[in-house]
Amino acid sequence: MTTTFLKNISHLACFNDDAGGAGTELTDAGILMRDNVIEKVGPMAGFSDITADRVIDLTGHVVMPGMVNTHHHFYQNLTRVMVQDDPLFVWLKTLYPIWANIDDAAIETTSRMAMAELIASGCTTSSDHQYIMPNDCTLDTPIRVAQEMGLRFHAARGAMSRGESQGGLPPDSCVENEEAILKDAERLIHTYHDMSEHAMTRIVMAPCSPFSVTPGLMKEAAQLARSFDGVRLHSHIAEVLDEEVYCNEMYGMRSVEFAESVGWLGDDVWFAHAIFLNDAEIKAFADSGTGATFCPSAHMRCGLGIMRAREMLDAGVTVGLGVDGSASNDTSNMFLEARMGMMLQRVAPNQYLSEAPGGRGGFGGTPAAMSVREVLNMATRGGAKLLGRTDIGQIAAGKSADVIAINLNQLGLAGTQRDPLAALVMCGPFEVDYSFINGVPVIEKKQFTRLDVEKALDDHARNLERIYDA
């Protein structure tokens, strides 16, 4: 067994169950990790008799749980800064033919690049929604890369099965046979899905969207997932008003009603975006335990709208944070996503303000709409709950040893001593100085321990050129 002692932590935010659910925050604190599990947390005064194989002095650092990214499309970092000013359906139809050229070698390099960005920005657990599988692409490759990088990974076996000839949005060249999709998903579950505590790999069933799959695939995917322990369901929903038009024309109902009709509301389901939910649909999410991922940067970049995250949280919906794809966000920084999410909720349409005496209606937010600690809770505890996990997202004895540390002695954090945790969101974005995932140091003093960054960048550039020449 190996022990690591993080000592003299200047500010520690645990996001645990203490302090009435607000989470313990300590100054001059310590964390003892034994192998991949946190063994002890508390003030330094309680560690006087501790010996450890490795001791790291985190004086001048703020420490918190590693963040949980609950929606991404790794492969899209081959198509960044493209289709900059068009609506989502045009954006998709422009990029589908390019993505059709992606092969498994490209999936390897894009996955490595995306994971590196996430880890550098404080992410220790990520899901990835790989819904296009052209050529020789497999989900096995990003799983292998995650194992090499040391990232805790929930691999979502996405799929598109309804092409243009069947009334779907994607070209027929980008869709798969439904029987083959389900067969491959079952293979992946048997091969990789690990329901043990502190597991590093789990599989998710993830048909892409109401406009790219059939109701039959949605139903069968749900049945397959629920025949196994802990295989969760993920998809896009209510991302754009064009989707609501499509669902009404194709199914005679809104997207959430469609999801319910195919068995896709429940406490084992979470959706990305959920921007255009009405009051009844928010209640349906809350009553069924269905969760949602807030992807604020992508929502703004694509001009989609503002998710009603504040109202969803107040209604009891579990909301996590996601960076979304590298072509609809163009970056993968969890601190930036937390900042954008908090700020966007502060300018969201506010029903309480509109209904108040003298309220001006329309847009008009309030600085109290979402706090730093609420958005960081979404990025940690909220994300963990969406993924069905109780062992990550907090710093407490018995939890997975996923811990990040940021040095406060840097230009962008000068003057933040009054609340260094808030500074990580309000003054960011930042990169971490230390990241421990499952007890393993994957970043030390801002350097990756398991990645040659220059080699990875060269490999990515070669694959990008090759794919575009195809």
Distance CA 197, CA 36 (A): 11
* Phi, psi torsion values for 34, nearest 5 degrees: -115, 115
Distance CA 405, CA 12 (A): 9
Is the CA virtual torsion 50, 53, 59, 60 positive or negative? negative
Q: How many CB atoms lie within 10 A of CB 357?
A: 4
Is residue 99 a part of any domain in this protein? no
Task: With CA atoms as reference, report the closest residue to 132 among 177, 196, 184, 175.
Answer: 175
Distance CA 185, CA 96 (A): 22
Q: In the chain, what's the furthest Cα-to-Cα distance?
A: 70
Is residue 50 a part of any domain in this protein? yes
DSSP state letters, 320-364: EE----TTTTS---HHHHHHHHHHHHHTS--HHHHHSTT---SS-
CA dihedral (83, 108, 222, 295) in degrees, to 10, reads -40
Task: With CA atoms as reference, report the closest residue to 365 among 373, 354, 376.
Answer: 354
Is residue 40 a part of any domain in this protein? yes
Is residue 32 a part of any domain in this protein? yes
Instruction: Provide the 8-state DSSP code for 394.
Output: S
pLDDT at residue 92, rounded to an integer: 86
Residue 301 in contact with residue 323, Cβ under 8 Å?
A: no
Distance CA 131, CA 144 (A): 18
Instruction: Using DSSP, state whether 219 is helix, strand or coil.
Output: helix
Residue recorded with tokens 């502190």 = 198
pLDDT at residue 70, rounded to an integer: 98
pLDDT at residue 83, rounded to an integer: 84
pLDDT at residue 21, rounded to an integer: 67
pLDDT at residue 352, rounded to an integer: 43
Write out residues in the chain with pLDDT < 70, as ranges.
21-22, 349-365, 470
Distance CA 145, CA 140 (A): 9
Q: How many CB atoms lie within 10 A of CB 179?
A: 11
Instruction: Provide the 8-state DSSP code for 395.
Output: -
Is residue 176 a part of any domain in this protein? no
Q: What is the CA radius of gyration of the chain?
A: 22
Produce one character per residue of 91-124: b if its CB has 16 or more CB atoms within 10 Å, e if not: bbeebbebbbebeebbbbbbbbbbbbbbbbbbbb
Is the CA virtual torsion 113, 114, 115, 117 positive or negative? positive
How many independent structural domains does the chain possess? Answer: 1
Q: How many CB atoms lie within 10 A of CB 165?
A: 9
Is residue 421 a part of any domain in this protein? yes
Q: How many CB atoms lie within 10 A of CB 21?
A: 10
Is residue 428 a part of any domain in this protein? yes
* Phi, psi torsion values for 289, nearest 5 degrees: 85, 10
CATH of the domain at 435: 2.30.40.10
The set of residues, in sequence order, having a beta carbon less than 8 Å from that of 360 and lying 6+ positions away, is 353, 354
What rounded mean pLDDT belongs to the chain?
93
Domain carrying residue 422: 3-65+395-448
pLDDT at residue 366, rounded to an integer: 72
Is residue 104 a part of any domain in this protein? no
